[in-house]
Amino acid sequence: MNTNNERRVVVTGIGAVTPIGLNFTDFWGNALKGKSGVRPITLFDTSQYAVRFAGEITEYDPINYMNKKVARRMDRFIQFAYTASQEALADSGLDLDKCDRDEVGAIIGSGIGGLRFIEDQKQVILEKGPSKVYPFLVPMVTIDMAAGQISILMGLRGPNFAVTSACATGTNAIGVAYRHIKSGDADVIFSGGTEAAITPISLSGFAVARALSTRNDDPKTASRPFDANRDGFVIAEGAAILILEELSHARKRGAKIYAEILSFAATADGHHMTAPHPEGEGAARAMTRALTKSGLNYDEIDYINAHATSTHLGDLAEINAVKTVFKEYAPKLTLSATKSLVGHLLGGAGALGVACAAKSVETGLIHPSINISEKDPLCDLDLCESGMKKREVRNALCNAFGFGGHNTAIILGKIKD
C-alpha cells in the first residue's frame, strides 16, 4: 500500500437501485430522458394518510440478487445497498480475489435504517407477544449493518462502519471514505448511502411536520425543486454505492475511471433542527472549504448537482449559498436536481448525487431538472430545466444538506496526470 502524501482517490465503479432504474445504467438513461419515478404508494394502505405517493421502487425482488436465506436476514435498506454494491463491483472490474482484502473496506450510511422492520415487529409483539419477535431483528435494523453485511458477504477486512447525518449521509460517507483512502487506511472502499423508509411512521412524521408535498392528484409533478409553486419534498427509497479506489491501485489494474475526487468538506449551520440558515451560510462555507481544499478557483466548476429538495426554504437557501460562493460566475454554472426525478432518498440521496456528478464528468451530459413549470424568480440560475444538457464538465460539485444543520460538499474532476 502506498502511504505517501500524494495518494489520490478515484471513482471506478457505480451501482444504484432507484425508482427509475434497478441499476445505475437504467437510472442514468431514464434520468437523461427526464423520467419521473414518483407514484402512488403500494407498500401499505395510504387511504387515511395526508400524503399517498412516494418515489417507491415497485419491481425490486431481492431474490434476483441474493439467496433467500441472506435476504431474510436483511431489512430492505440493506438489500438495496448490497444489490448496488454488487453492481458497483462488477462495473469496476475489480477482482477481489486478487486484492489484499485487508485494504478493502465498506463505509455506507443510512439516515433512518430499518424502520420498516421495526414497525412490522412491533405489530408482532402486539398480536403474538414478545417471544415471537424475529431473532435477527436487531442486526437487521441497525444502520451499520449495510456496511457490515457487505463486508461479511464479500470478505472485506478494511475499514467498516456507518455514517449517519440525515439527508447528508450519503455524501458524508463518501467523504469519509475518501479521507480514509487518502490517509492510507485502505486502497479500495465501497461507499455510499441507502434508505427504505417509506413506512407508515415515516410518512406520517414527515407529513405532520409539513415537510412533504401534498400533490396527491398529480404525483409525477410533485417533486419540483426551484419551482415557484413547490410545496415540499417527496419521500423516496433506494441506494447508490460507489467504488472509491486509490489512483495507482486503479491504474495498475487498468481500471476505468469516472472521475477523481478532489476534495470534501463538511460544516454545520448551528441554526435550527429542520430549517436551513436562510442565507445558506453553512452551505456556503462547505462549498468554499471544498473549493479551497481542491485548489480550484470558483470559475473552474462547471456543474453543481444540487441538494434541491423542493422545499421553499431549502431551495432558496441553496441558491443564496451558490451566489455567495460563485459570485458573478454563478449564472455560468449549470445546476440540476436529481430529486426532481426520483424524490428524496434521504440517507441515499447524496450518494446518488455524487454518482450523477461522476457520470457527468465522464460523459459531459447533465440530466435535467424536471417539473419546473414556473421558475422561482429568486432561483434565477441555469437549472437545466429545458432538458438534458451537453457541456464539458471539467469539475463538478455535489451538495447535500440534512436536518440538524449538516452541510456537505464534494468536488470531482476529470482525471489528470
CA distance 264 to 334: 20
Distance of CA 106 to the CA centre of its chain: 16
What class does CATH assign to 9-252? alpha beta
Sequence spans of domains, the chain: 9-252, 263-413
**pLDDT of 4 higher than 70:** no
| Phi-psi category of residue 84: left, alpha or beta, with phi > 0 → left and psi -120 to 50 → alpha | alpha
- In this prediction, residues 370-379 reach a mean pLDDT of 96
> How many Cβ atoms from other residues are within 10 Å of residue 216's Cβ?
14
**pLDDT of 3 higher than 80:** no
| 154-163, 270-279, 297-306, 361-370: least confidently modelled range | 270-279
Pairing, β 334-336 against β 389-390: unpaired
DSSP 8-state secondary structure symbol assigned to residue 304 = E
Q: Which of 131, 179, 189 is nearest to 159 (CA)?
A: 189
CA distance 64 to 74: 14
Q: Which residues pair with 244 in a beta bridge?
A: 11, 189
> How many Cβ atoms from other residues are within 10 Å of residue 377's Cβ?
7
- At residue 2, the pLDDT reads 41
- At residue 274, the pLDDT reads 60
Known catalytic membership, residue 356: no
- At residue 10, the pLDDT reads 98
Q: Please give the C-alpha separations between residue 186 and each of 9, 95, 300, in angstroms, as whole numbers.
A: 11, 16, 30
393: amino acid identity, one letter: V
User: In this predicted model, what pLDDT tens digit does every residue of 11-48 receive, in sequence order?
Assistant: 999 999 999 999 999 999 999 999 999 999 999 999 99
CA distance 105 to 411: 22
Q: Which of 263, 249, 180, 238 is nearest to 12 (CA)?
A: 249
CA distance 267 to 162: 19
How would residue 5 be classed by pLDDT, with cut points 50, 70 and 90?
low
**pLDDT of 269 higher than 80:** no
Nearest 5°: the CA angle 375, 361, 251 is 160
- In this prediction, residues 336-360 reach a mean pLDDT of 98
Q: Which of 225, 219, 230, 199 is nearest to 49 (CA)?
A: 199
**pLDDT of 395 higher than 80:** yes
CA distance 32 to 360: 11
- At residue 361, the pLDDT reads 98
- Options 167, 379, 384, 398, the catalytic residue: 167
Q: Which of 229, 258, 214 is nearest to 93 (CA)?
A: 258
- Options 180, 277, 344, 406, the catalytic residue: 344
- At residue 275, the pLDDT reads 62
71: amino acid identity, one letter: A
**Could you give the 3-state DSSP secondary structure of residue 101?**
helix
CA distance 3 to 124: 51
* Average model confidence (pLDDT) across the chain: 95
Nearest 5°: the CA angle 108, 111, 117 is 95
Query: What is the pTM assigned to this prediction?
Result: 0.96
**pLDDT of 98 higher than 70:** yes
**Domain 263-413 listed as CATH 3.50.30.30:** no
Residue found by looking up cell 415537510 in the block: 211
DSSP 8-state secondary structure symbol assigned to residue 224 = -
Q: Which of 245, 194, 190 is nearest to 11 (CA)?
A: 245
Residue found by looking up cell 437523461 in the block: 32
Known catalytic membership, residue 167: yes
User: In this predicted model, what pLDDT tens digit does every residue of 191-237 receive, in sequence order?
Assistant: 999 999 999 999 999 999 999 999 999 999 999 999 999 999 999 99
Distance of CA 14 to the CA centre of its chain: 12
- At residue 15, the pLDDT reads 98
Identical fold for domains 9-252 and 263-413, yes or no, is yes
> Hey, what's the cell of 307?
441538494
Q: Which of 291, 260, 259, 262 is nearest to 360 (CA)?
A: 259
- Options 180, 249, 277, 307, the catalytic residue: 307
